[in-house]
Structure 1
Amino acid sequence: MSYVVDFTDVSTVGLESSPVTEALAGLRANEARYYKNKYDHVFTTEPADEANETVDFVHRVLAEERDITIASKPLEASAFEVDGMRMAYVFYESGLAINVMYTIEDGGKRAVGFKLSDGMEVPEELADRFKFARQKSKLAGTIRGSYFVIKGE
């Protein structure tokens, strides 16, 4: 069952098993607010076990591009198209959020972004490979983020 993410009344629906539930819910709401304000897009998620195609896509990109396998359990996922870009999100039990963004036109932007919820440690599989910048958010506290550019198709 899909869930429309509300960024005015932050809910932990679907994220209850995370040790950083509140921070992860804030991170998810922060993403929802960004897409609503920038693109007038309503951010909707599904339980990860109902969004296998999206989860598999994100995991395949990570494996093929950087030989990364995420140890944490995926809780929710979202896939949508906005302003000529396709987006795929996976939110993990550890508090990690990963998005894959690529423009539909050839030669456009293609990247993978990582965001860490406030209070979580950098996952071992990312620790020595990426530097994380800090960003303050009213909804999510301190978000740490990093990314890499996708080189493949």
Structure 2
Amino acid sequence: MPYAVDFTDVSTVGLESSPVADALAGLRANEARYFKNKYDITFTTVPADEAKDTLDWVTRILQEERGIKIASPALEVAEPNPEGIRWVYVFYESGLAINVLYTLAEGEKRAVGFKLSDGMEVPEELSAFKFARQKSKLAGTIRGSYFVIKNEH
């Protein structure tokens, strides 16, 4: 069932099994606020098992671009898609959030971003990345990194 993320009243709905559920909910709310403010889009998530094709697309990009296989189970998927962009978020039980920004126009921005919830360790599969810190009123300290997508997906 779809869940419209509320960034004023942060909830752990759908994320309860995460050991850092409160921080992950704050991270999800932080993304929801961004999409509302920048694009006037309501950030809506669905359980990962209801978005298998989208999750498979993200998994394939990670594998083909960098040989990354995420160990943690996916909990939720969001696909806000501002005009001209396929933008997918996957929230994992470990507290990891991955977003794939894939502009539909040739030669534009295409990247994969990683964000770590406050309180979680860097997953082994992402240990090669350097993470920058960012403060968020909703999510505490967010650590983030990214890589540029080189191929067509």
Q: TM-score, normalised by structure 2?
A: 0.98
Cα deviations across residues 93-145 of structure 1 (Å, max 9, x unaligned)? 00000000011111110000000000000000001x10000000000000000
Instruction: Give the match for residue 136 of structure 1.
Output: 135
Say which SS state the counterpart of residue 28 (structure 2) adopts: helix
Say which SS state the counterpart of residue 49 (structure 2) adopts: helix
Say which SS state the counterpart of residue 80 (structure 1) adopts: coil
Say which SS state the counterpart of residue 99 (structure 2) adopts: strand
Contact conserved, 2:96 with 2:114, CA < 8 A, in 1?
Answer: yes
User: Please, which runs of 5 or more residues in structure 1 have no aligned partner?
Assistant: none
Instruction: Give the match for residue 78 of structure 2.
Output: 78
TM alignment of 1:51-66, pairs within 5 A: 51-66=51-66
Say which SS state the counterpart of residue 133 (structure 2) adopts: strand
Say which SS state the counterpart of residue 151 (structure 2) adopts: coil
Cα deviations across residues 55-90 of structure 1 (Å, max 9, x unaligned)? 111100000000000000000001232032110110
Q: Distance in 2 between matches of 1:41 and 1:9?
A: 17
Instruction: State percent identity of aligned pairs.
Output: 76
Instruction: Give the match for residue 28 of structure 1.
Output: 28
Q: Which amino acid aligns with 2:122?
A: V
- Runs of 4+ in structure 1 over 6 Å off: none
Q: Which amino acid aligns with 2:54?
A: T
Give RMSD over aligned pairs: 0.6
Q: Distance in 2 between matches of 1:149 and 1:48?
A: 24
Q: Distance in 1 between matches of 2:31 and 2:80?
A: 13
User: Please, which runs of 5 or more residues in structure 2 have no aligned partner?
Assistant: none
- Between the two proteins, the alignment pairs up a number of residues equal to 152
Q: Distance in 2 between matches of 1:15 and 1:93?
A: 7
Contact conserved, 2:42 with 2:80, CA < 8 A, in 1?
Answer: no
Contact conserved, 2:41 with 2:80, CA < 8 A, in 1?
Answer: no
Comparing 73-82 with 21-30, greater Cα deviation is found at 73-82
